[in-house]
Amino acid sequence: MKISIILTAALLFIGCNVFAQHNFSCFVKDAESKDILQGVSAKIENSAKAIASDNNGRITFANLATGKIKITFSFVGYENQTVSFQIPGGDTVQIIYLQKAEKKEEEVIVSSSRTNSRIEDLPTKVEVLGSEEVGEENGIKPGNIASLLGDVAGIQIQQTSATTGNADARIQGLPGKYSQILRDGLPLFGGYSGSFSILQIPPLDLKQIEIVKGSSSTLYGGGAIAGMLNLISKSPKLNSPERSITINQSTLKESNLNLFLSNRNKKAGYTLFAGGTYQRAVDVNKDSYSDVPDLKTVFFHPRLFFYPNQKQTVIVGYNLTYEDRNGGDMQVLHQTKDNNHQFFIQNKSLRNTIDAEIETKLNASDRLTLKGTTSFFNRDITTNVFGMKAKQLSYFSELTYFKKLTKHNIVGGINFSGENFRKKNPDSTRFDNYNYITAGIFIQDDWKITEKFIAEAGLRLDNHNVYGNFVLPRLSLLYKISTHFTTRLGGGYGYKIPSQFASDIDERDYPNFYPGTNVKAEKSTGANWDINYKTVANGWHLTVNQMFYVTEIKDPLVEFTIPNGVISFSSASKPLNTKGFETYVAATHDALEIYFGYTYTNAKQLYDAAHPNVSLSARNKFATVIAYEFSSHFRAGVEASYTGKQYLDNGNTTPGYLFGAAMMRYDIKNVALVLNCENLFDYRQTKKESIISSGAPANPVFKQIWAPIDGRVVNLSARINF
């Protein structure tokens, strides 16, 4: 009897242990930074139980049976890790450290910072359109990057010519002349070629686009008052050749054919981009004038890379761009002109650029960089009333030294730049030949005061052979409030040398244009403040950014017309200023991507009491993008934007308008097919009004362009990797 009682008790004890339910908890952290990781997936092997870490990085499983279990932890960007645990496991708090996964692609380096710092550690706010965005744009708009830049909050692509389609990139409400455009950190555009920048850069040739909004003159000199766009070319990858062809055709009679090749071994490498665009003129609204110009463009851009040893890299490049852009009366473009139909504007341009860069690593972190470029630009303007030929020589050279200390990243350097403009005879314009030379010296220090607080101070001194000396200080601060919140505050000075070429002046008016003599260099003061929030919760990756900005430009260059019809410039006695804010929200969840942006801009020209609002600067602009990757082969997305009212030169306002687009991409082995539709709702300014104010048909005068005039367009492209 006693034996049976003992056996029964033992069986009950064993049963209680077998069927007892226990809880298990652990915390998940980054193995390097020891930061908590939210949204980490944890799954028990041979079980349906799975959960994600909460805001504190904690994972809790309830109602576990006694015994040994295996849990697999997985998180985007980190190596999967499987760990065994004994249940119950005692009172010890378990901490799981995940290692970051090795990146298969080349690490994104922000070249514009000159310090090779992570974007999260830069006190100056830099936005990067990476290889994914640039690659996708290649299928949507292979000919240029204008559309891609227009999707960025705070950037407005403004068409400046009704017939030839020239366009400028306006940043934070300021005209395009205040934005500086660089190619691999080297200035290429300006002066006589100022309006032919974003329309002559195909996306297939680019690795990424870096955007700095607000004054960036400390590192890059004059011209970067509103901001800077640095277009970074592709580089070859070691033993990873790239070969691709992009073919595109649109319903607006645009054809593109682009080729990109690259390869590298330990000692040498190369990249080669070659392509062309053929666009036939289109009269969308049937008013007898081209809304889309006749266009022929050829690109050729080879680069050679040499690696003599592990410490040195030598890059030599050549860039050729030829363009024939012709718009006007359709009868003239079709070679059937008569006495009444004579109007046309044709721009032929040829750019030859040579550039070189030598980077020498002095030790594990310090480096010395010498680079330079020379650009020969020829432009031939022909109209029905006037013709002009001229050439522009531009050059730039720079020597920089980067020193990394325990708490300081210091970069300093000197640079020389020049621009030489010469007219070709015979010539009937009042433009002046000129030769500008600028010498500059700069230094910048990124000081890591604490783990959370980084200060960036910079100073540039420039000497211009005509406009004198400029002192350009800049200060930026970064504070990491928590693992979720960071904030940046920065400001600095800038300047811009007056140019006798304005992108919004009709070429037919060049004979009446007088550059002016009593003009000053424009000087600016600007500041930006932003706060950024990032989190991961329940599989969602969320980023929210709020930025405020203000810029004031003293002695702004103002166009005016005197009674005899002569157009000239003068320096205004009161400033131009712009202020506003940008808000954007980006969220991803598995294959879903969502973006929403809003920009408010209040741009004022205080020198004009009658018309104080800066022309063609939209007060409100909304933009949203939704994309979903249905499978590894199929991706689709839609985007929409709303541009609010804009003021015109005469003080009138325009209506707001909605712009929509949709895209589908399907991958078949080595071929990516893209079907894209821009301006889904076919909104056109010419549906609201005639864009011709007078002078038709022989010599029409056009109104300002404030909305699209080319209408709905569908394109089909194929990128073939071979």
Shared-domain flag, residues 160 and 197: yes
Closest by Cα among 226, 235, 181, 244 to 206: 235
- Domain-ending residue, one of 64, 98, 132: 98
Q: 29: helix, coil or strand?
A: strand
Per-residue model confidence as pLDDT tens digits over 210-261: 998 887 777 788 888 998 889 999 999 998 999 999 999 999 999 999 999 9
Distance separating alpha carbons of residues 259 and 431, to the nearest angstrom: 39
DSSP letter, residue 262: E
For residue 89, is pLDDT > 80?
Answer: no
- Domain-ending residue, one of 204, 230, 256: 230
In a domain, 146, yes or no: yes
CATH number at residue 60: 2.60.40.1120
Shared-domain flag, residues 273 and 221: no
Distance separating alpha carbons of residues 169 and 197, to the nearest angstrom: 9
- pLDDT at residue 102 in the model: 58
> Averaged over 703-714, what is the pLDDT?
95
Shared-domain flag, residues 417 and 495: yes
β-bridge mates for residue 102, sequence order? none
In a domain, 450, yes or no: yes
Q: 296: helix, coil or strand?
A: strand
For residue 14, is pLDDT > 50?
Answer: no
For residue 22, is pLDDT > 90?
Answer: no
In a domain, 440, yes or no: no
Q: How confident is the model at residue 16 (pLDDT cuts 50, 70, 90)?
A: very low
Percent of the chain at pLDDT above 70? 95
Distance separating alpha carbons of residues 147 and 140, to the nearest angstrom: 9
Shared-domain flag, residues 537 and 458: yes
Q: How confident is the model at residue 195 (pLDDT cuts 50, 70, 90)?
A: low
Min mean pLDDT across 17-21, 115-119, 386-390 is at 17-21
The helix (H) or strand (E) run that includes residue 402 is strand 387-404
For residue 92, is pLDDT > 90?
Answer: no
Is the model more confident about 116 or about 317? 317
Closest by Cα among 258, 293, 294, 297 to 277: 297
Q: What angle do CA 709, 714, 718 make, to 5 degrees?
A: 135
For residue 321, is pLDDT > 80?
Answer: yes
Contact predicate 159/705, CB 8 Å: yes
- pLDDT at residue 428 in the model: 81
Distances (CA, A) of 373 to 23, 302, 399, 544: 66, 14, 12, 39
For residue 500, is pLDDT > 60?
Answer: yes
- Domain-ending residue, one of 65, 98, 131: 98
Shared-domain flag, residues 189 and 63: no
pTM listed for this prediction: 0.83
For residue 672, is pLDDT > 90?
Answer: yes
Alpha helices in 84-203 (DSSP H): 131-140, 146-150
Q: Following CA atoms 113, 115, 118, 124 in sequence, which dihedral angle do they give, to the nearest 10 degrees?
A: -40
Shared-domain flag, residues 214 and 295: no
CATH number at residue 408: 2.40.170.20
| E strands in 501-566 | 513-514, 522-537, 540-554, 557-561
For residue 8, is pLDDT > 70?
Answer: no
**End-to-end distance of the chain based on CA atoms, in angstroms?**
85
> Averaged over 280-285, what is the pLDDT?
96
In a domain, 632, yes or no: yes
> Averaged over 702-719, what is the pLDDT?
96
Q: Tell me the backbone φ, ψ of residue 697, rounded to 5 degrees.
A: -95, -15
Tokens of 461: 């001194």
For residue 560, is pLDDT > 60?
Answer: yes
Distances (CA, A) of 586 to 38, 153, 542, 623: 17, 12, 6, 12
Contact predicate 445/410, CB 8 Å: yes
- pLDDT at residue 287 in the model: 93
Could you write out the DSSP letters of every residue in 349-380?
EEEEEEEEEEEEE-SSS-EEEEEEEEEEEEEE
Beta strands 94-98 and 21-30 are: parallel
| E strands in 99-250 | 127-129, 155-159, 167-171, 179-183, 186-187, 206-213, 227-233, 242-250
In a domain, 479, yes or no: yes
For residue 6, is pLDDT > 70?
Answer: no
Domain that holds residue 170: 111-230
- pLDDT at residue 563 in the model: 72
10 Å CB burial of residue 573 (0-12, 13-18, 19+) is exposed
In a domain, 656, yes or no: yes
For residue 13, is pLDDT > 60?
Answer: no
For residue 133, is pLDDT > 50?
Answer: yes
> Averaged over 522-544, what is the pLDDT?
92
Per-residue model confidence as pLDDT tens digits over 429-438: 888 899 999 9
For residue 108, is pLDDT > 70?
Answer: no
For residue 657, is pLDDT > 90?
Answer: yes
Distance separating alpha carbons of residues 525 and 548, to the nearest angstrom: 15
- pLDDT at residue 239 in the model: 87
Percent of the chain at pLDDT above 90? 63
- pLDDT at residue 627 in the model: 96
For residue 460, is pLDDT > 90?
Answer: yes
DSSP letter, residue 512: G
- pLDDT at residue 604 in the model: 96
Shared-domain flag, residues 273 and 201: no
- pLDDT at residue 11 in the model: 47
> Averaged over 709-720, what is the pLDDT?
96
Q: What is the average pLDDT value for the chain, to the nearest integer?
A: 89
For residue 619, is pLDDT > 70?
Answer: yes
Q: What number of residues does the chain have?
A: 722
Domain count, the chain: 3
For residue 371, is pLDDT > 70?
Answer: yes
The helix (H) or strand (E) run that includes residue 220 is helix 217-220
Helix, strand, coil shares, percent, the chain, to 5: 10, 55, 35
Min mean pLDDT across 565-574, 575-584, 705-714 is at 565-574
> Averaged over 317-339, what is the pLDDT?
94
Per-residue model confidence as pLDDT tens digits over 209-220: 999 888 777 778
Distance separating alpha carbons of residues 454 and 9, to the nearest angstrom: 67
Contact predicate 385/508, CB 8 Å: yes
> Averaged over 372-391, what is the pLDDT?
93
> Averaged over 308-335, what is the pLDDT?
95
Shared-domain flag, residues 416 and 368: yes
CATH number at residue 171: 2.170.130.10
Distance separating alpha carbons of residues 51 and 506, to the nearest angstrom: 64
- pLDDT at residue 12 in the model: 47
Beta strands 485-496 and 557-561 are: unpaired
For residue 140, is pLDDT > 90?
Answer: yes
The helix (H) or strand (E) run that includes residue 94 is strand 94-98
In a domain, 435, yes or no: no
For residue 112, is pLDDT > 80?
Answer: no
Q: How confident is the model at residue 17 (pLDDT cuts 50, 70, 90)?
A: very low
Residue 345 Ramachandran class (φ > 0 left, ψ -120 to 50 alpha, else beta): beta
Shared-domain flag, residues 224 and 235: no
| Residue type at 137 in one-letter notation | E
Min mean pLDDT across 99-103, 526-530, 664-668, 673-677 is at 99-103
For residue 551, is pLDDT > 90?
Answer: yes
Contact predicate 587/601, CB 8 Å: no
Q: What angle do CA 237, 415, 224 make, to 5 degrees?
A: 80
Shared-domain flag, residues 248 and 216: no
Closest by Cα among 178, 140, 176 to 159: 176
Shared-domain flag, residues 172 and 47: no
For residue 376, is pLDDT > 50?
Answer: yes
In a domain, 603, yes or no: yes
Shared-domain flag, residues 549 and 637: yes
Q: What angle do CA 422, 375, 570 make, to 5 degrees?
A: 50
Distance separating alpha carbons of residues 250 and 593, to the nearest angstrom: 27
